[in-house]
Amino acid sequence: MSFYSEKTIQIQKATPADAPALTSLARYAFLETYIPLAPHRKKEIEQYVAKDFTLLNTELALQDPAVHFFVMKALFLEETLLLGYAKLNTALSTPSIGAKNKVCIERFYIHPAHKNRGLGAQLMKTVLKYIRQQGIKIVWLTVWDVNLAVIDFYERFGFRQAGVHLFDMGDTIDEDILMVLEV
């Protein structure tokens, strides 16, 4: 059962005013997720986040017509909280998916303090509905192979493992799992 009611949660497209909160959540969620999964790579993970998860990068992405952010916000005690977000990107590609009519879920984050409350499922349903409305046929994303809970989450939505995707975090090039969903 979710802590939040349908009335307190809003999922909408992000605006430029959301950039600072998006950047903050991305940094926090990435560090809180991946450092415990790979503590021996803590420095590399921190360097990657410092380089790639900047306010400027978020602001530029919000201006890019190929990128669409969906934010999940809740009104709580008269304060609006960013609970999570999804970043879709139609410009990204991977060699094993040749279709033109595709989109990458480049980022999908729920704030760690709000996980396991059904919020990720709610956000994913909204994102997939939007993708279908756009007439997109293939959705793809990548997942670090050590992140088993997230792999399971995506599989519950029908994503299937379809190969590997190289991910350069800095010192190491990882073989992330490529997951695909035909919609």
Q: In this predicted structure, what is the pLDDT of residue 154?
A: 98
Q: In this predicted structure, what is the pLDDT of residue 148?
A: 92
Q: In this predicted structure, what is the pLDDT of residue 143?
A: 95
Beta strands in the chain (DSSP E): 9-13, 67-76, 79-89, 102-110, 138-143, 160-168, 173-182
The two three-digit tokens of residue 53, written as one number: 């998860």
Q: In this predicted structure, what is the pLDDT of residue 14?
A: 97
Return the CATH class of domain 9-182.
Answer: alpha beta
Q: Which of 5, 143, 162 is nearest to 76 (CA)?
A: 5
